[in-house]
Amino acid sequence: MIKSELVQIVAAKNPHLYHRDVENIVNAVLDEITDALAGGNRVELRGFGAFSVKNRPSRSGRNPRTGDSVFVEEKWVPFFKTGKELRERLNPDLADEDDDED
Q: Summarize pLDDT for 69-94 with one digit per residue, the tens.
A: 999 999 999 999 999 999 999 999 88
Separation of alpha carbons 61 and 55, rounded Å: 16
Res 95: pLDDT: 65
Give yes or no for residue 11 having a pLDDT over 70.
yes
30-72 residue pLDDT tens = 999 999 999 999 999 999 999 999 999 999 999 999 999 999 9
User: Coil, strand, or helix at residue 58?
Assistant: coil
Res 94: pLDDT: 80
Res 93: pLDDT: 87
Residue closest to 61 by CA, chosen among 48, 74, 52: 74
Give yes or no for residue 102 having a pLDDT over 80.
no
CA distances 101 to 6, 68, 87, 96, Å, are 37, 52, 17, 9
